[in-house]
Structure 1
Amino acid sequence: MNAAIGVEQLNNLKDEFKTYLRETNPQWAERTISTIGSDAFFALNNNVGVDFWSSLVSEEALLVARDKIRDFLAGTKGAGNADERANGYLSALKQLKTFLDTKHPTLPAEWSGKSISDVNLRSDFQVWMKKQKKSNGESYSPNTINAYTTALKNATAKLGLGDAVLTDLFFYTTADEFEAARKTILAAPNFEEVDSAAGNKAYSNGMVIYACFLKELGEPSAWIFQGNPKYYDVIGAVEALDKLTWAVNQYPKQIKKDDKAYIWVSGSDGGIIASGTIICDPEIRKPNLSDPYNRGDALKNKPYLAVDISVERKLTLEKVPRAVLLVDERTKQLEILTYPGATNFRVTKAQEEVIESIIDGSYERIPAVDEPKVEVVSKRRYWLYSPGEQAKFWETFYKDGIMGIGWDDLGDLSQYDSKADIKAVMKQKYDDDKSYKNDGHALWQFANEVAVGDIVFAKRGMGVIVGRGVVESDYIYDTNRSEFKHIHKVNWTQKGDWEHPGQAVMKTLTDITQYTEYVEKLEALVLGESDLPETDDEPEIQYPDYSEADFLSEVYIGTERYATLKGLLLRKKNVILQGAPGVGKTFAAQRLAFSIMGEKDTSRVKVVQFHQSYSYEDFVMGYRPNESGGFTRAEGPFYKFCKTAESDDERPYFFIIDEINRGNLSKIFGELLMLIEGDKRGEKNALRLLYKDEQFSVPENIHIIGMMNTADRSLAMIDYALRRRFAFFDMEPAFQSDGFKARQSAIQNPRFDALVSTVESLNKTIGEDASLGVGFRIGHSYFCTNDIVDDAWISSVIEYELMPLLNEYWFDEPSKVESWSARLRGVVNG
């Protein structure tokens, strides 16, 4: 008999239970059967603190389970009447016990104390195989990976071994269990026949590879445990404690005693601040409601799965920075960098070695190389959706071909202009003390962002995917329905029970589009790799890659200055590039944004130019004349850009302001002058707008880059109120940079070389002039051209670009202008 209960066995039992309910209660509606069938297993799905199968042995044990469920519900926000709901779950448990007493009287005792093999490693195996190399150094082809995956999932059922082994081999999660099953499989009389039918011995070869995968999985692993300083004083806890208790929300079957743990503090300037060892396997813990490091409400207010971590190295003063890991080829694909919205993240052996080298001081960076992208940015979006608590309305929604959401009392959601409007009405109608942040956001997205062609994954709780569908209509407010009047029509293409990889988010509706690897896992989980949908008819945008190396090759500053500039922008959120004409401020600003994004995604960059007449009404919002002679409220570029960035808050956005010191900054920014500060971002600091009854905030993922010409004497200096909200970075002429020298060498024109040399001498004079200074030096971009550099081009630059500049600089010293004019013209005239 297997040491664990297989998911197939459990699912078969659930189906048999529902069949029993239909046969014994023919008067019940299908919805009632589905609800009882789900509620009966609530205690099993939610770790309420009781051995589920033992609770079905006797009536007394059922009452104990009922009390545990009540305590669990009482500690859950918004759970309502815990006693009444616990009695409802007890009623379903009694139905299950009656069924088991009739059909399987010995099963509760036999399954008591056993764990459920609820982890299916198929998608993990596929991801692992893509990274493996054959003996000849080549990668495995997609066809080979798909053939092995299909054989491991389906071929065992053809051997007719009954309960001796699990038919889906991906439910084996340890090397020892799998090896025992493999011996049974190899001894089957028809094994050779089944193996041959799989083609190219995909079955036997796949088992060999899967055994290697499990062996590697079983070795001591390394994990990152993430904490958000907004809700928990991660740094304070690390500095004060030698043992930390941390939640396990992902990889509950893989994280184990003796694994290495890295503690990560989140944020754009975050990183690893401690390392240690996990000293116990994951186990249910009671919440510590008096934890002094909680900021606000306790993070956990009900029993939860957790481990203890012995802190061995405290790195709060010399953390392993996120920025360093992002730009190293070996660590740029760390799970926490590609899908940060979780608690627990796997660290590969290679990634662990890099992290350890950073900690011990032996680190040598391997610059990240931008590889050709396989995935493209598509207009199709992907959503994770809960059809009611524990998917209680899933059967109805599936049958009706819809997805629905509650809050019918709000009426037609299309009548609301913003999330804030929805939340305000929710406070009026329901509970004024609640913020309705998540619910209001979900309703807004449901009505305004879920679109035809989007993919929806329906989930039950936080552990099971029950369906996949394609949205077939825009938002509909259906007054003919008695409940769930807010709907979209959906073609539910798949239905079943698939164990979610790790723990899913709790929210009703979540946009998961940007988490590409996560979406791939869900698609592979539900569809299988051979059934992935074709998307050739989808409108696609593919942006060219852009790396730090690309930046350094185009913008003539060194590696260290680039790292300083990038760090300033990520930390401060707002940077002004200041310098003389021609140092490449605008060009550098756009390339800086691209290098941080890793691609030339122009949709996430907005450029505006300030001038003396520019106002708040132009920039944020105001009233403009319309064709009928009246006035219409119009949204400005900054307001629109903030709203776009707010809906995509895991990716950076860049707002670039040219000639920032030409405008009246207090007049242009208005009340937003405070909100652009790095520590005043986000909804918690929202202010009411001047021209709209809306609480507005500047999203944390917006970075502002301003450009300021230091040679413009007609402008006043930036006032202190704005100056302290920006970091200032000097852009200097780069004639001596490696990049410019390479360009100069490629031109191969002695007169061009002479012109550059003369301008460098001119800059020395300008810098030493008391009435001018270094901020007036001539920049290198005057000489960066893709045109043919001949005498005509050189003369044009001198006469029409440099001479007007000198006349302005020394308007009261004509002798200087005449002297330098002769030297510049002498480059051509000899």
Structure 2
Amino acid sequence: MNTISVAQLNSLRSEFKMYLRENHPEWSDSTVCTIGSDAFFALNNNVGIDFWASLVSEETLLTARDKIRDYLVSTKGSERSDERADGYLSALRHLKSFLDNKHPSLATDWSGKVISDINLKSEFQAWMKKQKKANGDPYSLNTINAYTTALKNATAKLRLTEPICTDLFYYTLVDDFDTAQGIIEAAPNFEEVDAAAGNKAYSSGMMLYRRFLKELGEPSTWIFQGNPKYYDVIGAVESLEKITWAVNQYQKQIKKGDKAYIWVSGSDGGIIASGTVLCDPELRKPNTSDPYTRDEPLKTDYYLAVDIKIERKLTLSKVPRAVLLVDERTKQLEILTYPAATNFRVTKIQEEVIESIINGTYERVPAVDEPKPEIEVKRRYWLYAPGEQASMWEQFFAEKIMGIGWDYLGDLTTYPTKEKINDRMQQERNEDKYFMNDVLAVWDFVHTIKPDDVVFAKRGKSQIVGRGVVESGYIFDDSRSSYKHIRKINWTNNEECNYPEEAPNKTLTDISRKTGTIDFLENFYAEKSIDSSSFIEEKSYDPYSDDDFIKEVFMSEEMFVKLKGLLLRKKNVILQGAPGVGKTYAAQRLAFAIMGTKDISRVKVVQFHQSYSYEDFIMGFRPDGNGFKLTEGPFYKFCKEAENDDERPYFFIIDEINRGNLSKIFGELLMLIECDKRGEKNAIRLLYKDEQFSVPSNVYIIGMMNTTDRSLAMIDYALRRRFAFFDMEPAFSTDGFKTKQASIQNPKYDALITKVQLLNKAIAEDPSLGPGFRIGHSYFCTNELVDDLWLSSVVEYELIPLLSEYWYDEPSKVESWSEQLRGAIR
């Protein structure tokens, strides 16, 4: 095999750390974890070396050190690159020493191999949906979710004597899983944890997962399709004893020992050979000199493939496609219902029919044609592009809408015909042509799509990114900055899959007649429909709209749209401004606006301070009266909640974010909060726990920072790079605040507001202060009675002390403005 499993790699990492602890008892856990992580830096980053080959000798280690230095210079700049490269070299030497002692041939054996990130979580969930309990009833979604959670976090609460992979879904072989299961069940507190999980989720889940792996390990049957237009399939089959075939589908399921049928495509196509798969899917280098390739090479980059031993050549007596189409048992072969793929599963019954045709014992069972609607399609299915290359997908998913461009057209209901739409497009583009695809997309979006239609969102021509059900008619929302033409939609799924054929290069396409394609996509999303949010006891929360935010936060609609889009795109935003501009208030209501409801269960607020640490935020050991206990922090718990409800957004709000040491608080997770480092594929091992952890893509982080902080310039570069910054301004001039001010009906209050605006002008022009020190509007937002006592309290105990801090070295300014503020309310 040319791959290394994640389980193998994780086991090696754990063993390496144990080796470091045994051989360096004077080292702290932090030092062990740092060296254990640094040793694999070149593996985790594309520094331009064969990582395992670099561990063969001191000479190869020095070469690796130079490559790491060059990588650091190119990505981080030259500062300290030599020093850091020497640190990674030291860690690599420790790793080499470990391998020389414990696994002397491993570096050579693993050289040239790649890491396989196969994780069978989704496959197990789909399998569970088809299983029955002893009484014949199917397993409930709640039970499936409980088993899945137990298997994914198997070692979280166990005191294990030996290291294993935390996520059991990385175990793909029964023997490896049996070893891990034995270690888990030998844990001294296993029975206690298993009982506490309810329905013995650990033991029951492992029993079922073992059965799943056993079934997965049994030989399966597949069809491998080739197109004679691009490859001489018949010539290759007739001449070769072994043939290499790409694996584009079922990459986790196809395996060594499976049965394979070779299929030549076309209306007169069919099965022309059968044989056995000789290996698991492996990364292969393109064969640019393959004599059976017509014109251009089929592959130009590394690709997954298997070798197939050809055991029966049927080119002169093929199993015809036409025969399989008219047999009730084989008419639903995957290759017949959605043929635009390479690899197709064959059921046991279908295999028996195919074998009977080959050996001459075939008896046809006539296919029964099901009646199909001829004209009217009650529920339509649509292929839809949410922006170019799905650029608007995350925003539309969060807002629960679908939208199209062509904003210059205005309200689309004002165009009585397609010709009128085209006339306007010609005028806008200054071209005399009929824009058929664009006109049809616009017309269908307004007039043809109906509530309850199904929409598949696509990226490019080959990928589906989600599924949804239309909930409203056409809406023209002129308040939006772009994509003003929208419909409300319930996005039911956001998992990605390959489109089974080449998708048209259009914004909107009716695919209702493509029944095979629809079946493929609906079956895929049906298997992904295990939504853990359905297991949470639903609470009723008040709705909250964009208009509510604009009204309550005193922000212009334009600025709100920018802020909302920034958070949805970047996932991490810092609201910065002087005290009193409403940062915390805005952060919580921004979360509500995106969720569309005041769902406080999906919002968490914490505050950083100088002594705040990783142990407070992620996890750490805390005294519990009987020693020390590993305690989970708020960010770890929050991410786990969001992970189990991955189709709804969650918001983690951090007040005074610049007061904490980000590197110290986030530790090894700092990288994982970046928008392109989210999800399980980027998981890393935690400092205090033998667990692979990732930050879910549905977690949005909102930080707040006071611009009056004199240490603002010292903000960690790591913070600046991973967050977008949004300035919060005093809102005295906004329509919302003016409405609030008018409702109070107090001349002294009005006079004070006017004076504070003048004061803000002076603060903004002061070279020692600047706009970031202006006084915010929230000092003047109250539901109390605004009388002389209230006004005096604000001036004397909030504003004047603030001025004393601002101009501590200019007492004359403090005295002058204090008198002006007092004078405004006399």
User: Which TM class, normalised by the smaller chain length?
Assistant: 0.3 to 0.5
Query: TM-score, with normalisation over the residues of structure 1?
Result: 0.46
